[in-house]
Amino acid sequence: MSRLIVNADDFGLTSGVNRAILELHRAGVLTSATLMANAAATAEAVALAHATPTLRVGCHVVLVDGAPALAPHQISSLTSARTGQLHPTLGTFLQRLLTDRIRSSEIEAEARAQIAQLQSQGLHLTHIDTHKHTHMFPGVLRPLLRAARACGVRAVRNPFEPAWSQSATPGAPWMRRMQVALLRRLAPAFRRIVAEEGFTTTDGSIGVLATGTLDARTVSSLAAALPEGIFELVSHPGYHDADLARAHTRLLGSREAELQALHVLQLFPQIDLVSFAELTQRPVKIC
């Protein structure tokens, strides 16, 4: 049977993002969301999660382009000395990571603080993923999993797009295709580390290639091609309003397009929509 986790990233980013996530869940096409621990609308998202127990919630660990949970001096390799914020671009973060200027212990500490911050508000977290998929890289993945395990969370997003999904994604820019293809070289190391650390994950993510271009045609194509197994559809729905404009996200107009596009899943009743809770059923330790 084909099983699909439909997850919305950036829960808590803005009220418009939160509203879109709740609308899609109530429509029966979105099963899961990953919540930012320290964003502008986090408090609202936590309240909505408590009021909607059928929506499964994970932690969207932010290590770049955001505000940290810990004081900047505690994680100085992750933050800008000028602003006290996390480094603003993925390029800067990766340059520092690949030249050993980011401390593994600080990744673990910050990830654990974000997970614990959500758990302390009474949320049962089903899984973790990362903003901008930074856990693709082994130098991030291992400390991230150590942090999650300490908090009793044992499922993680598999951020790598399978070959069948790439073929079923029309309209993706060629540069994005090249990036996704190159990053797939990291997939064997990802699977090995996940197994070594005792975590569970999916057979892959779809929609990553279509980030910024996910529309109804693409969702329909991916759903029609979905093989047996369990995959995650990564999405970023939201309403394009003043709050979103102030968030400086590159995904502005595309969020409303994704909001509309996900409703196409209602035309595929043969797909079993599940959540990360189905991947692992074990007692949760509160961090």
Residue-level pLDDT at 266:
97
Residue-level pLDDT at 243:
77
Residue-level pLDDT at 284:
45
Give me the number of domains the chain comprises: 1
In a domain, 31, yes or no: yes
Q: Mean pLDDT throughout 77-83?
A: 96
Residue range(s) defining the domain that contains residue 145: 2-278
17: domain CATH number is 3.20.20.370
At 166-213, the pLDDT tens digits run 999 998 889 999 999 999 999 999 999 999 999 999 999 999 999 989
Alpha carbon distance 196, 192 (integer Å): 6
Residue-level pLDDT at 153:
96
DSSP, res 135: G
In a domain, 13, yes or no: yes
Q: Which residues contact 175 (CB under 8 A, 6 or more apart)?
A: none
In a domain, 221, yes or no: yes
At 125-141, the pLDDT tens digits run 999 999 999 999 999 99
In a domain, 286, yes or no: no
Instruction: State the helix-helix crossing angle for 138-150 and 90-98, rounded to 10 degrees.
Output: 100
Residue-level pLDDT at 109:
98
Q: Which amino acid is at 70?
A: L
pLDDT at 18 over 80: yes
Buried b (16+ CB within 10 A) or exposed e, 134-143: bbbbebbbbb
In a domain, 283, yes or no: no
In a domain, 55, yes or no: yes
In this prediction, residue 282 has a pLDDT band, given cuts at 50, 70 and 90, of very low
Instruction: State the helix-helix crossing angle for 104-119 and 138-150, rounded to 10 degrees.
Output: 40
Q: Using CA atoms in the order 95, 99, 101, 103, what is the torsion angle rounded to 10 degrees? A: 100
At 248-269, the pLDDT tens digits run 666 656 889 999 999 999 999 9
In this prediction, residue 107 has a pLDDT band, given cuts at 50, 70 and 90, of very high
pLDDT at 283 over 50: no
In this prediction, residue 124 has a pLDDT band, given cuts at 50, 70 and 90, of very high
pLDDT at 246 over 80: no
Residue-level pLDDT at 220:
97
In a domain, 82, yes or no: yes
pLDDT at 103 over 50: yes
Mean pLDDT across the chain, nearest whole number? 93
In a domain, 287, yes or no: no
Structure tokens at 133: 């998929």
